[in-house]
Amino acid sequence: MKTFFCAVVLTTIVLLSGGYAYAADDNYAFEDPKQRETFLRLTAELRCPMCQNQNIADSDAMIAHDMRRKVYQLMQQGKSEQEVIEFMRARYGDFVHYQPPVTPATSLLWLIPIGFVLIGGVAFIARRFYSPTDKQEQEGNDEAMALAEANRILEEEK
Amino acid sequence: MKKVTLFLIPLVLFAGLVVFLFQGLFSDPRERGSMVVDKPIPAFSLPDLMHPDLHYTPAVFEGQITLLNVWGVWCVTCAVELPYLTQLVEQENLRIVGLYYDQDLDPDFGTKTVTGVQQEVKNMLNRFGNPYSFNIFDVYRDLSLDLGVTGAPEHFLIDQHGVIRLHHVGDINERVWKNKIAPVVAQLKREMGSSDS
C-alpha cells in the first residue's frame, strides 16, 4: 500500500512537472502582473500557423517560439493587445487568431445554426397546427387502403 | 408526390455530404492565402551569411526578377531541392537569393557560432549544389516573420520593383516549376520587356 501511494505521488509530480517544462524555457519578465496576464491571454488566443490547431503558448514549433518573442517585444514597446493581434494578422492572415472576424465566408458559421433553429421552429409550428388533421386523414386513408387491400385478397382467395 | 419529396430530401442531403467530404480528400489543411503577395518586400537591413560586414536592404531586389528561397541546413527538403534549383539557375538564367535562418542558433543564447553555421552551409552547398547569388542571414528571423514564413523551404518571387508576386510554401520541383512558377516568371519577364521599350 505504501509503495502504491509513493508511486501515485511520484507519478503526479512527474506529470505535473511535464506541464511546466515548456513554460520554463522562455522566461519573459514583466514588471506589471497585468502585462503578464495579457501576454498569457495573447499567446493562448493566437494560433500557431504551422501546427494543426495549437495556440502559440502550447506549441514548441520554432515559429511559435518566434511569435511569442515577437508578442513580448511588441508589448514591451507599449503596443496594445489589439495592435499585437493586428500585427500578426497582417502577416499570417485571419487564421492566426482564434476569434474569426465576420466575413462572407465565415458568416455561414453563424447563419447555419440560426437557420437550423428557424427551420426547426417552423416545422414544430407546422406540425402543431396542421398535422393532427393531416394525420387523421392519413390514418383514415391508410385504414381505407388496408381494408380495400384485404378485401381484394379475400376476393382473390374465393 | 409527398412520398417522392420525403425520399428526395435525405437523398439530396446525402449527395451534398458526399460532395463535401469528397472534396475534403483533396484539400490541403495547411494551405492558406498569403498576406504578402502584391506587396513590396518589408523593410530590412540584414548581413550576408558569409560576409557579416556586408549588409543588404530591399534595394538588392530592384532591377531584376529574383526568387527568394527561405532555407537552412537543418531542413531536409531544402537539401532535396538544391540540385534542382542549381539546375534552374543554369537553364532559366534565374537569380536565386537565399534567406537563411538557423534553428539552433538562438541569437541571444546561441549554442552554435556563426562560423560553425558558415562551415555547415559550405559543406551542404558543396555537396548538393549552390544556386544562390548570395545568402541573406535572417539573424533574429524578423524578416521571415514579416514575410509570414511558417517553415522551410518557402519561396517568394520578387519582381524588378521589389514587389512580391508569388509565395510558394514547400519545395520546388519540376512539376511545381512548370505549373506554378514558370508562368509567373514568364509574365514578369514580359512586364520587364514592355517597360524597357
User: For residue range A21-33, what is the model confidence (pLDDT) as tens digits?
Assistant: 444 346 788 888 8
pLDDT for res A122: 92
Q: What is the DSSP letter of B90?
A: H
User: The domain spanning residue A82 has which CATH number?
Assistant: 1.10.8.640
pLDDT for res A22: 46
User: For residue A149, what are the contacts with CB-CB under 8 A and spacing of at least 6?
Assistant: none
Q: Which domain holds residue A146?
A: 102-158
> Are B55 and B47 spatial neighbours (Cβ–Cβ below 8 Å)?
yes
Calculate ∠ Cα B55-A64-A25, nearest 5°.
100
Is it the case that residue A19 has pLDDT exceeding 50?
no
- How do residues A83-126 score in pLDDT, each as one tens digit? 999 999 989 888 889 888 888 878 888 899 999 999 999 999 98
If you average pLDDT over each of A22-26, B11-15, B34-38, which comes out highest? B11-15
If you average pLDDT over each of A5-9, A60-64, A106-110, B143-147, which comes out highest? B143-147
- Min distance B123 CA to chain A CA atoms (Å): 24
Do A91 and A56 lie in a common domain? Answer: yes
pLDDT for res A3: 63
Do A114 and A93 lie in a common domain? Answer: no
The residues facing B136 across adjacent strands are B48, B99
Assess B158–A contact: CB distance below 8 Å, yes or no.
no
Do A61 and A107 lie in a common domain? Answer: no
How many Å apart are CA B174 and CA B84, to the nearest integer? 8
Give the percent of chain A with pLDDT over 70: 77
Do A132 and A84 lie in a common domain? Answer: no
Assess B103–A contact: CB distance below 8 Å, yes or no.
yes
Domain closes at, from A101, A135, A150: A101
Report the interhelical angle of A62-76 vs A81-92 (nearest 10°).
140
Q: Nearest residue on chain B to A51, judged by CA atoms?
A: B30
Do A44 and A27 lie in a common domain? Answer: yes
Per-residue DSSP letters for B61-130?
A: GBTS-EEEEEE-TT-HHHHHHHHHHHHHHHHH--EEEEEE--SS--SSS-SS-HHHHHHHHHHHHHHH--
pLDDT for res B105: 60
C-beta neighbour count of A59 within 10 angstroms? 21
Do A33 and A52 lie in a common domain? Answer: yes
Across the interface, do B151 and A63 touch by the CB < 8 Å criterion? yes
Assess A63–B contact: CB distance below 8 Å, yes or no.
yes
Is it the case that residue B154 has pLDDT exceeding 90?
yes
**Strand B46-47 with B164-169, pairing:** unpaired
- Give all domains of chain B, ordered by start, each with its CATH number: 35-196 (3.40.30.10)
- In this prediction, the answer to ipTM > 0.95 reads no
Which of chain A's residues have a Cβ under 8 Å away from the Cβ of B13?
A: none
> Are B167 and B37 spatial neighbours (Cβ–Cβ below 8 Å)?
yes
Do A43 and A72 lie in a common domain? Answer: yes
Do A13 and A75 lie in a common domain? Answer: yes
Which of chain B's residues have a Cβ under 8 Å away from the Cβ of A89?
A: 35
- Min distance A143 CA to chain B CA atoms (Å): 18
- Grid cell, residue A49, equals 500557423
Phi and psi of B8, rounded to 5°?
-75, -35
**CB contacts < 8 A (A, B):** 37
Do A85 and A121 lie in a common domain? Answer: no
Across the interface, do B151 and A52 touch by the CB < 8 Å criterion? no
Do A35 and A110 lie in a common domain? Answer: no
Domain closes at, from A69, A85, A101: A101
- How do residues B177-192 score in pLDDT, each as one tens digit? 999 999 999 999 898 8
Do A65 and A136 lie in a common domain? Answer: no
Span of A12-16, A19-23, A93-97, B148-152 with lowest mean pLDDT: A19-23
User: For residue B44, what are the contacts with CB-CB under 8 A and spacing of at least 6?
Assistant: B56, B57, B58, B136, B142, B143, B146
Assess A87–B contact: CB distance below 8 Å, yes or no.
no
Q: How many domains does chain A have?
A: 2
How many Å apart are CA B172 and CA B183, to the nearest integer? 14
Calculate ∠ Cα B73-B154-B70, nearest 5°.
45
Domain closes at, from A59, A80, A101: A101
Do A23 and A85 lie in a common domain? Answer: yes
Best of A62, A73, A97 to mutate (most B CBs within 10 Å, chain B):
A62
How many Å apart are CA B14 and CA B163, to the nearest integer? 46
